[in-house]
């Protein structure tokens, strides 16, 4: 649930992560995900994947070198979304992970 699709996906990621942590604590195996090809969503529904990103709670320093135009895009989008550059890059990584590519 969420006010926007992005918010709903973020909340779904958190719920999946919480499920995985609890399953591990209880010694239960994780449920095997359903293949996208075998799911038929109702008309008007949106089918998305939710990646299981296990957060360590520990930050690491990354110092990527980017094309100036790419960096300007990242900074502009981060400002537009009222995010830090780091938060935006993490958000982009989550969206790409969602695509399952």
70 in the same domain as 47: no
Q: What value does the mean pLDDT take over residues 72-101?
A: 88
* pLDDT attached to residue 100: 62
Same-domain check for residues 65 and 101: yes
Separation between Cα atoms, residue 49 and residue 100, nearest integer Å:
7
**Quick one: pLDDT at residue 96?**
83
Amino acid 8: pLDDT:
87
Q: Are residues 66 and 47 in the same domain?
A: no
CATH number of the domain enclosing 76: 1.10.1220
pLDDT at 65 over 90: yes
Q: Are residues 10 and 54 in the same domain?
A: yes
Which of 101, 66, 100 has its CA nearest to residue 88?
66
Do 48 and 67 have their domain in common?
A: no
Measured N-to-C along each axis, helices 85-99 and 5-26 cross at an angle, to the nearest 10 degrees, of: 80
Q: Output the pTM of the full model.
A: 0.60
**Is residue 11 located within the same domain as residue 49?**
yes
Task: Give the range of the structural domain holding residue 76, as residue numbers without chain letter.
Answer: 60-101
Question: With left for phi above 0 and alpha for psi between -120 and 50, is residue 79 left, alpha or beta?
Answer: alpha
For the segment 5-62, what is each residue's pLDDT rounded down to a tens digit?
Answer: 878 888 898 899 899 999 999 999 998 888 888 889 899 988 888 888 887 889 999 8
């Amino acid at each position: 649930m969420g006010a926007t699709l992005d918010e709903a996906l973020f909340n779904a990621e958190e719920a999946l992560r919480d499920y995985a942590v609890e399953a591990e604590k209880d010694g239960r195996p994780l449920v095997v995900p359903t293949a996208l090809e075998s799911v038929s969503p109702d008309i008007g529904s949106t089918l998305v994947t939710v990646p299981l990103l296990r957060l360590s709670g520990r930050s690491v320093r990354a110092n990527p070198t980017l094309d100036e135009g790419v960096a300007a895009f990242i900074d502009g989008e981060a400002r537009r979304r009222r995010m830090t550059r780091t938060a935006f890059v993490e958000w982009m990584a989550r969206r790409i992970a969602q695509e399952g590519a």
